[in-house]
Amino acid sequence: MLVARPRTDISSQPAAWRTRALRAIMPAALIVALLVTWELVVHIQQVPHYILPAPSLIFRTLIERWDTLGPSLWFTVKLTLLALGAAVLGGVLLAVAFALSRWVEAALFPIAVVLQVTPIIAIAPLILIYVESTTLALLLCAWIVAFFPILANTTIGLKSADARLRDLFTLYGATRWQRLRFLLVPSALPYFMAGLKVAGGLSLIGAVVAEFTAGTAGRDTGLASRILEASFRTETPLMFAALLLVSLLGVAIFLVFSGLSKWLLGRWHESEMPKHDAAR
């Protein structure tokens, strides 16, 4: 007996490859065009480097001052990742508590909202007064900014499980742990990953803003301190070099979490499954 096998549309593979290539090439080409235009404008108009440095000068400063910028970049990376890790741990645990107990949610969720809506630049000076360690104070500021997206998205995800599946678990007498592990966690994972992408960037923003507020200086400080020091000395190329590292770090964090989301959800969730749509 012959069994018909589904035919793979080979002709669509080159088209998909071209689409992915264009999506990568077009942004890169636009960035290159902007940098070239920037370089030409600075040279043609003879703009002083302390007002607007050319991209070539910024990249040269990045290489020449790497002995200063490298340790600062590492400090910012550590602060960002520690704050993000604490936000993930606290946000997920509290979201699980919210999902399992309405009373816990009613008591604690308003406090989380207050932390979110209060500008970090307003409460950072108070944190710096009450916390003796400057590094711990910076970490706390970055954690506050990154915490709420994890908590809110995970809570929504835990509550978004299909009602019919909930009834099925109840019918079979599933325990709370079984309901959480096999129903609520898979339902919440796409929401959690979306919150993680947002929280990754916010933790970096919180770390930089907190360091600006603290006005820290010295060797064991982050990129924000290098920007402050360069502004005081009117070293505009160094400011742009440090800002470039902050931007690249934020892009790297987003790309890592986007790849992680695609790896975890790409086989079963619509948000990350490959789209075979000719119109796209």
pLDDT in tens, 98-124: 988 889 989 998 998 888 888 888 888
pTM of the model: 0.85
Q: What is the pLDDT of residue 259?
A: 93
Cα–Cα nearest to 109, from 143, 177, 142, 156: 156
Q: Which of 45-49, 67-71, 161-165 has the lowest mean pLDDT?
A: 161-165
Q: What is the pLDDT of residue 13?
A: 61
Q: What is the pLDDT of residue 2?
A: 46
Give just the sign of the alpha carbon dihedral 73, 263, 199, 128.
negative
Rounded distance between C-alpha atoms, residue 72 and residue 219, angstroms = 8
Q: What is the pLDDT of residue 278?
A: 41
Q: What is the pLDDT of residue 218?
A: 56
Q: What is the pLDDT of residue 217?
A: 56
Q: What is the pLDDT of residue 15?
A: 65
Cα 7 to Cα 4, 10, 11, 99: the distances in Å are: 9, 9, 11, 45
Sequence-distant (≥ 6) Cβ neighbours of residue 217 within 8 angstroms:
225, 228, 229
Q: Chain centroid to CA 259: how far?
A: 12
Q: What is the pLDDT of residue 122?
A: 85
* 53: pLDDT strictly greater than 80: yes
Quick one: pLDDT band at residue 279, thresholds 50, 70, 90?
A: very low
Highest mean pLDDT of the ranges 12-16, 18-22, 216-220, 240-244: 240-244
Taking only the tens place, the pLDDT of each residue in 186-241 is: 899 999 999 999 999 999 999 998 888 876 655 668 999 999 999 999 999 999 99
Rounded distance between C-alpha atoms, residue 99 and residue 187, angstroms = 12
Residue type (1 letter), 57:
L
Residue 193 near residue 265 (C-beta atoms within 8 A) = yes
> Cα–Cα–Cα angle for 178, 269, 185, nearest 5°?
20
Q: What is the pLDDT of residue 215?
A: 65
Cα–Cα nearest to 54, from 44, 43, 63, 65: 43
Cα 140 to Cα 108, 125, 134, 214: the distances in Å are: 19, 12, 10, 13
Mean pLDDT of the chain: 87
Q: Chain centroid to CA 111: how far?
A: 23
More confident residue, 52 or 5: 52
Rounded distance between C-alpha atoms, residue 181 and residue 188, angstroms = 11
Highest mean pLDDT of the ranges 112-121, 253-262, 268-277: 253-262
Residue 245 near residue 62 (C-beta atoms within 8 A) = yes
Residue 244 near residue 62 (C-beta atoms within 8 A) = yes
Taking only the tens place, the pLDDT of each residue in 136-177 is: 999 999 999 999 999 999 999 998 888 888 888 888 888 888
